[in-house]
Amino acid sequence: MKKFLLLILVLLMNLSAQKNVAIFSNARVYTQDPAQKWAEAVVTEGSRIVYVGSNKEAMKHNIAGAVIIDLQGKLVLPGFIDNHTHFIAGGFYLNGLDLRGAKQITQFISMIEDYAVKYPGKWITGGDWDHEAWEIKELPDKSWIDRYTPNTPVFVSRFDGHMGLANSYALKLAGITKDTPSPEGGLIVKDPLTGEPTGMLKDNAMNLIFGVIPSSSEEEYLRAAESALAEANRYGVTSVQDITYSKDLEIYQRLENENKLTCRIYTRTPVDDYQSLVNKNIRTGSGSDFLRMGSLKGFADGSLGSSTAWFFEPYAQDPGTSGLPNDIITDGRLRQWAIDADKNHLQLCIHAIGDKANDYILGMYEEIAKINPQWDRRFRIEHAQHIRFEDIPRFKNAGVIASVQPYHCIDDGVWAERRIGPERIKYTYPFRSFLDQGVRLCFGTDWTVAPINPLLGIYAAVTRRTLDGKNPEGWIPEQKLTVEEAVQCYTINSAYAAFEENIKGSLERGKLADMVVLDKNIFEIKPEEIQNTNVVMTILGGKIIYEKK
């Protein structure tokens, strides 16, 4: 009899081990499930959730071999889904020169000098500098760094990725002189007296430099991807929606095959390469739970910080420009690609920041919906920063998702009014107006333009306190969201934006067991304290992939 009972126990333990049952108990679980908003426990089996509810009922799953994790009353949320990243570029940023901390021009210069001494002759890239954070808010010039980098090529981008500084050596390698014309959709900034390039290149002009920067090695790509994954893990980001180039995709596929992909990737291929997806019969939703394809990314304009976002009216700070529409708009290619891509059931996600850029993309989407067969297309506008109030209903009517990054508003809010004046500022980052008019709103970071930490994004959406501390009650406070709304935008709404709301974004039976555990209950603390909240555990597919020590 004892042998028989022992055999049964061994069989049960083996069965449990095969099922990989985990009970996450004694928690405050915010589910995002309208039928059961709050719970005490989540039970996972393998990569899926099998139960959400009370501690008592959860313990019925405590078969031999089950793992019990007592969360001691901590808040559990669905894993954060970042709607917009440059993921592997973020890894390269972590592994390279970081100029974000430069708060003075002398710091900017000395950091480049020190890096050049450490890596003589090696291309210096990366950067993420922000001249608006300096004591003198002027664009950098090649003369600042030429003396320290005579034989080292430099091209360091502003944090928004829409302009960068090249030194004289890099300009020489790219063949850029005073006689080089600015390309369509870009600007080579030149000295008004001498006509010589200052080293500043905006938007499409940056491609002249990118073309001569040597490609990174396979090992460098892998190291960048691993660094990016670790960064996502420690901030509770279990899924990202990424602008994915061909080499990036190769790295993701390799990591998935090696079971090393610790974040789910919704890839977005550059729109000019959409035909490659069509030829492979890839449609929206193609792929696995870890790596999906079928979405496209394009650009309508530049950025506000670079004065290349496309507006109806000139910039207040620079009346000589209204911004730069991308060349694929001015020559009609974007419209042609978009119509054909939509016919082939590929999702369109177009970057638009200025009010005219948003108007143009809305018009293009409206046209496509009229002339192409109907399907569940889920158009997206990435950033959707400056929207005339009369255009907000057009998002709702055309089913356009506003894919926004709330941290930008507390960063841009420090200086944006100088760029575009007090009137246009009123319809900047209109989060509340979007929701009130029934527009689907989802959140992300645009990492590395902003930190990948979603809690900072939630803090920004809820408080709208600018980084300079000058708006304690919020910048354009009428556009604040509640904590519940912000969490929804970072979870189930972002899942919807990737056609994945049936498998992630909320904690429900049958969905992927992706969760994040926080050290504070962000629904109960003061909103301004959200920025100091930490992730203590990240769970992906039922496995703990990060735990704060």
**Taking the CB of residue 414, how many other CB atoms lie within 10 A of it?**
18
Q: Tell me the pLDDT of the chain (549 aa) as tens digits.
A: 455 444 444 444 554 455 799 999 999 999 999 999 999 999 999 999 999 999 999 999 998 889 999 999 999 999 999 999 999 999 988 888 889 889 999 999 999 999 999 988 889 988 888 998 898 889 999 999 999 999 999 999 998 888 999 999 999 999 999 999 999 889 999 999 999 999 999 999 999 999 998 988 999 999 999 999 999 999 999 999 999 999 999 999 999 999 999 999 999 999 999 999 999 999 999 999 999 999 999 999 999 988 999 999 999 999 999 999 999 999 999 999 999 999 999 999 999 999 999 999 999 999 999 999 999 999 999 999 999 999 999 999 999 999 999 999 999 999 999 999 999 999 999 999 999 999 999 999 999 889 999 999 999 999 999 999 999 999 999 999 999 999 999 999 999 999 999 999 999 999 999 999 999 999 999 999 999 999 999 999 999 999 998
Please give the Cα distance from 314 to 320 (Å, whole number): 7
Per DSSP, helices labelled H in 182-292 are 207-210, 218-234, 246-257, 274-279
**Longest distance between any two alpha carbons in the chain, whole Å:** 99
pLDDT value for 65 = 86
Answer whether 537's CB lies under 8 Å from 517's CB.
yes
Strands, E assignment, 309-391: 347-352, 380-383
pLDDT value for 207 = 93
pLDDT value for 2 = 52
**Which residues is 155 bridged to in the sheet?**
166
- 89-210 placed in CATH 3.10.310.70: yes
Any residues with CB less than 8 A from the CB of 208 and at least 6 apart, and which? 174, 175, 176, 180, 183, 188, 201
**Taking the CB of residue 470, how many other CB atoms lie within 10 A of it?**
10
pLDDT value for 185 = 87
Please give the Cα distance from 28 to 38 (Å, whole number): 7
Distance, CA of 265 to chain centre: 11
**Which residues is 403 bridged to in the sheet?**
382, 442
pLDDT value for 45 = 97
Answer whether 245's CB lies under 8 Å from 221's CB.
no
What pTM was estimated for this model as a whole? 0.88
